[in-house]
Structure 1
Amino acid sequence: MKTLLMISLVLMLTMQSSVSENIPSLFYKAEKNGKTIFLLGSIHIGNESMYPLNDIIKNEMDSTDAFVFECNTNNINDIAMAKALMYLPKHKTLNEYLDTETLTNLNIFCEKSNIDINKFFNLKPWAIYSILSLNTAKELLNDSSVDFAVDNHIKNYAINNNKTLYYVETAVEQYQTLDNLSNETQNLILNELIKSNLLSKKSNFDSSINNWPEWFKNNNAQGFANAYMADLTNDMREFNDALLTKRNVNFAAYLDNLVQN
């Protein structure tokens, strides 16, 4: 089970060529119509050991014309609309959306963690999952881990160097990905996350979080892939198709249009 909402890609557009044959495995290159796109695998958490970035990546960043990020989190109105999706319709309660096992486990988890379960009772199952998964990641690393996120680091660089910024999706579109999941799948991802905490038995992906900064620093794409693939099951197909497959297709279409225009 994944602990975070997603693994993003920070994308860089440039008119320059090219990158060394010794290109890091988390740094990809594509060319079309005389333009070059570099894709950098990113994680939303990290630590200071991940920096400075590889010299190859830093050099291409310096010569890059524009940066493309996963989601625009700077639009206050959009963020407000996105957060509104997290809440249940009026006069609806969480009891109507959670199956017996998930509700029972949520109660046990909240009691064990000294959390007032009433804080969750107006939230949709996927919203509770998102909140708890982020908290899990912070606990496994530390509260400052988000400050060292790759996307935050590179966005600060881009802004400080007056680069053009693009975003492949809005916050509303990102939240809608989870909001459109069936209630059955929302129960599944929430219950699996809770059970992994209650039983102290993390999934392959969750238990690997402490390795993420080292994997990123060492360009170990295979480490990320192996940890994620080990948890893929048929009952998680809707979740993975929505979070990864369909969004990646949309991302590719956005980039293709951006390059053409």
Structure 2
Amino acid sequence: MKNLSLKIVTLALALACWSTNTLASDATTSVWKVSNGEDTVYIGGTIHILPISEFPLPDAFSTTYEKSDTIVLEAELPAPTDLAAQRKIMAAVAYEDGQSLKDELSEETYGALNTYLSAFGATADQVASFKPGMVVSMLVAMEAQRNQLAGEGVDAYFNQLAKRDGKTRDYLETLDFQIQMMANMGEGEEDRFISETLTTLPELKELLTQTIKAWRNGDTEEINEYVVEKFKRESPVSFNEVFTQRNANWVPHIEAMFGDEDQEFILVGAGHLVGEGNVLKLLENKGYKIEQL
């Protein structure tokens, strides 16, 4: 388990990032137009795991991409051959000085983790050198693969498309920031984080299927329940860092995209566009006009 490929590590990193608002929830897509007078940017909510069977994407994503000059992602996605990025990720998400996840978990939770991993021919001891955020992300990735639901997701798809088409790519935060966020996730609530995740893993297939359906339909209430509220229940301490703070941090970056000649298409996890304190609501509060396509 220590010799994970960068593809799996990168997927796990992406997974780390998954109240009704005043925006419409009866539209048919997860793409929004944000306007300041005649000046606009577009924001699309993404799914970080999307099986190949879910392609092609909803038309609004394709048409918005075609008319955009710049694609803005949460962070730069490292290439599968980027060994330096792999080493950086692994160093950040691993314990040091003899520490172990086993020391943070109850016997019951550690035993449940071992039982789950045994179905994959692995043991809890093999992942105990990793911090809880990495372990949870690996568990979700493994369960998705077992249910044939794994896929690189919408962000990776548009990243590759923009690279092929020579479109400018920009980012809301650095890879180093996302790596550190995963390293911090679940800190101080390790037992709860792992235990809650193990409890919900048997429901992952149904949950992911429902989430994808809600995302395709632009159903903000259901996305909020399946993504935001679920994360809040599993890791309330980490919720502020993963959602609330990042949403607020992104708003100035988005505002800076107005007033130029480029047409930007911003792509962030759908959970950042729903619920209390979401990016769209923060922009609406600042006077921007929000329209769901």
State the TM-score, normalizing by the size of structure 1. 0.76
* Gapped regions of structure 1 (runs ≥ 5): 8-21
How far apart are the structure 1 equivalents of 2:140 and 2:210?
17
User: Once the two structures are aligned, what percentage of the paired residues are identical?
Assistant: 18
Which residue number in structure 2 is paired with residue 16 of structure 1?
A: none
How far apart are the structure 2 equivalents of 1:233 and 1:150?
23
Alpha-carbon contact 1:87-1:122 (below 8 Å) kept: yes
Higher relative contact order (CA 8 A, sep 6+): 2
| RMSD of equivalent CA atoms | 3.0
Which residue number in structure 2 is paired with residue 102 of structure 1?
A: 109
- Kindly indicate whether residue 213 of structure 2 is the aligned counterpart of residue 209 of structure 1: no
Aligned length: 237
Alpha-carbon contact 2:47-2:154 (below 8 Å) kept: yes
How far 1:259 sits from its partner (Å)? 4.0
> 1:235 and 1:118, CA in 2 relative to 1: closer, same or farther beyond 3 A?
closer
Partner deviation per Cα, 1:114-133 (whole Å, 9 max, x = no partner):
31333213212222111112
How far apart are the structure 2 equivalents of 1:49 and 1:107?
32
How far apart are the structure 2 equivalents of 1:228 and 1:101?
27
Partner deviation per Cα, 1:74-119 (whole Å, 9 max, x = no partner):
2734443232111111222333232333223223333454313332
How far apart are the structure 1 equivalents of 2:42 and 2:165?
18
- Kindly indicate whether residue 189 of structure 2 is the aligned counterpart of residue 189 of structure 1: no
Which residue number in structure 2 is paired with residue 168 of structure 1?
A: 172
How far apart are the structure 2 equivalents of 1:153 and 1:236?
28
> 1:94 and 1:211, CA in 2 relative to 1: closer, same or farther beyond 3 A?
closer
Alpha-carbon contact 2:33-2:40 (below 8 Å) kept: yes
Letter paired with 2:63: N
- Kindly indicate whether residue 17 of structure 2 is the aligned counterpart of residue 6 of structure 1: yes
Partner deviation per Cα, 1:173-228 (whole Å, 9 max, x = no partner):
1122232346332322112112334xx4x3xx763212344333333333322323
Letter paired with 2:73: F
Give the SS at the match of 1:37.
strand
How far apart are the structure 2 equivalents of 1:229 and 1:254?
22
> 1:95 and 1:225, CA in 2 relative to 1: closer, same or farther beyond 3 A?
closer
The 5-angstrom pairing of residues 39-50 of structure 1 reads 39-50=43-54
Letter paired with 2:167: K
How far 1:161 sits from its partner (Å)? 1.8
How far apart are the structure 2 equivalents of 1:238 and 1:86?
18
How far apart are the structure 2 equivalents of 1:51 and 1:182?
33
Task: Point out the more displaced range, 231-240 or 39-48.
Answer: 231-240
How far 1:56 sits from its partner (Å)? 3.6
How far apart are the structure 1 equivalents of 2:199 and 2:190?
14
Which residue number in structure 1 is paired with residue 41 of structure 2?
A: 37
Which residue number in structure 1 is paired with residue 7 of structure 2?
A: none
Give the SS at the match of 1:85.
helix
* Gapped regions of structure 2 (runs ≥ 5): 1-13, 19-25, 261-293
Alpha-carbon contact 2:16-2:137 (below 8 Å) kept: yes
